[in-house]
Amino acid sequence: SNVEGGVAWSNTSAASVAGGDFASVELLAGESSEWLMASAFDFTIPRGSTIDGITAEYETSATLTASARAAGVRLTVAGMLRGISRALSIVHWLLAWTYVTAGTQNDRWEESFKGRDVNASDFGIAIRVTIDGVLPTDAHIRHIRMTIHYTLPIQTGYTTGTAVVGA
C-alpha cells in the first residue's frame, strides 16, 4: 500500500515475490515516490523474547545508473512509520537487480519493539525513492525480506526434593 505524498508506485503487490514481477515508479528530476509499504511477514517470535535487531533487504534496479536511491527506509506498525530511517542515501540503485540492506542484527532502529509488535500482520517496512539525476528514471523493487534477530527469554525453574526424616 502507498501513503503520503509523492509519485505513486505501480504493481505494488509484485514486490513480495523473489525473482518475479516488480513494483515500479517513474520519477522526474527532483521527484520522490510515495512510501512503498510491505507487511504481513508472518513472524512468530516467542513471547517474552527480546528484539535485538532488525535487518531489511530489498532487491532494486533502475533504468539509469547513479540516479535512483532510497530517500527513506522505515519500519511500520499499523500503517504508521516507526523508528528512524535506515536509507543508505549514498547508494544508487544499479541497472542489474541488486539487494540493498538496511539495519543490522544489533540495530533496533531506535525503537523498543516486542515480539507481539513484529508478529503482527501490520508490522513491516516502508521504502521511499528519489532520483539525483536530471533524466526521467524508473525505479524498481522486486523483492523485500526482513530478518528479526532476537534473544529467547531466560527460562527459570525449580525442582523440589523430599527428604526422608530419620533415614
Q: What is the pLDDT of residues 25-58, one digit of tens each?
A: 999 988 999 999 999 999 999 988 999 999 999 9
Determine the average pLDDT of the residues in 67-79: 92
Distance CA 102, CA 114 (A): 20
**pTM for the model:** 0.86
Determine the average pLDDT of the residues in 53-80: 92
Distance CA 92, CA 131 (A): 9
Distance CA 106, CA 113 (A): 13
